[in-house]
Structure 1
Amino acid sequence: MPTQLSDNIADLRREYTQGGLRRKDLPEDPLVLFERWLKQACEAQVPDPTAMCVATVDSQGRPSQRIVLLKHYDEKGFVFYTNLGSRKAQQIAQNNQVNLLFPWHFFDRQVMVSGKAERLSSMEVLKYFHSRPKDSQIAAWVSQQSSRISTRGVLESKFLELKQKFLQGDVPLPSFWGGFRISIEEIEFWQGGVNRLHDRFIYQRTENHWNIDRLAP
């Protein structure tokens, strides 16, 4: 049965008044604007400013989403790391078309990226893995991500066992742990606007430059 809250959420709304986005203010390179917005989110101490939703589809076309943390970006794409046995990694292996979404609600902003995923090299993965806190390295060994487990205690026991095992030495890189780079084929910037007249601009990659178009809200 619907609850009272369910009946009332249609009335929850606010105006987006933090400013607009105009074509004349857009740089030719979308990463310049992305970095500007990310820097503002970091400086404002927005919780998890690098959090992004990663959307993939399975072999039957059913979508799946999850939040991961962006670990690097440049003109080649956006990078994140994961267990290669996870649902997202398995789905990427079947269909490498991926969509990313950065939800910076504090600034009434979203950034959406569409592109193809490719596996990172072993050297890239190893370098990042050993930059992580040791407990995070151990945790990568503990979880067979997306597999079914009976209790949380299974994970905790395994973590303590491996923490003791690797107490004195380095934690080796698991063979089942890696990362992906999502190329930038399209990137859309969304800025909330008054009266729901939001500003949306999409950059689409061509052979030599970026095409920029305004989209209706």
Structure 2
Amino acid sequence: MARHAAARVPSALLRHLRVLRPQDAVGTYAHPRPEFARLVRAGALHQLATGYYAVVPDDHVGDQWLPALEAAAAGIAAADEGIAAVALMGLSAARVHGALPRAIGVAVVAAGRHRSALHLADRDATVLFVRRDVTRLDVQRYPHELGEGWITTVEQTVLDLAARPELGGLRDEAEAAARTLLLRADAAVLDELATTQRRQATLRRLRTTA
């Protein structure tokens, strides 16, 4: 389906992150919210949640495009706090690392400030925000369909899942993912992280039950 030029997202808004909020467009539109609604109707924007919109890739305009939950969660968090301040963790990191075989209805993001869970508008899913200093976590780059961001490494994810398996409401899946990732983790890095983050007892318990 062709899209009229007037229905395109202005290039000034197309930066490294493809999740937009109406307040991001105050310098582009006099009234951003009606303009965003128009772009949604035209298929140029996809509403993720109240106040958050993803830029639809040109080759998906007219399709029933739905970004991955993990990409949506990372993009929403980064839109509010900046890419450097947030990272996927826990169940979401396990999912990206391939330790969860099925899609789940919850995403977990480490963020710099406390905030309530966010329910998505485009699917039955929830984003949980955990207040953590991302600079103190072991993270790696996470390129995704809505830009790029950070995700906890395999080793950090192992420790997080083992320490808080109930986070996200899928304890069995979290514990299974921790055991799966433990087999792939660098033992020396894992020991160092456990010592630095005072999680030696957590790691010992996991290794005992793995």
* Bigger fraction of residues in helix: 2
Scaled by the length of structure 2, the TM-score of the pair is: 0.28
Structure with greater strand share of residues = 1
- Higher relative CO (CA 8 A, sep ≥ 6), structure 1 or 2? 1
Q: What TM-score comes out, normalization by structure 1 length?
A: 0.27
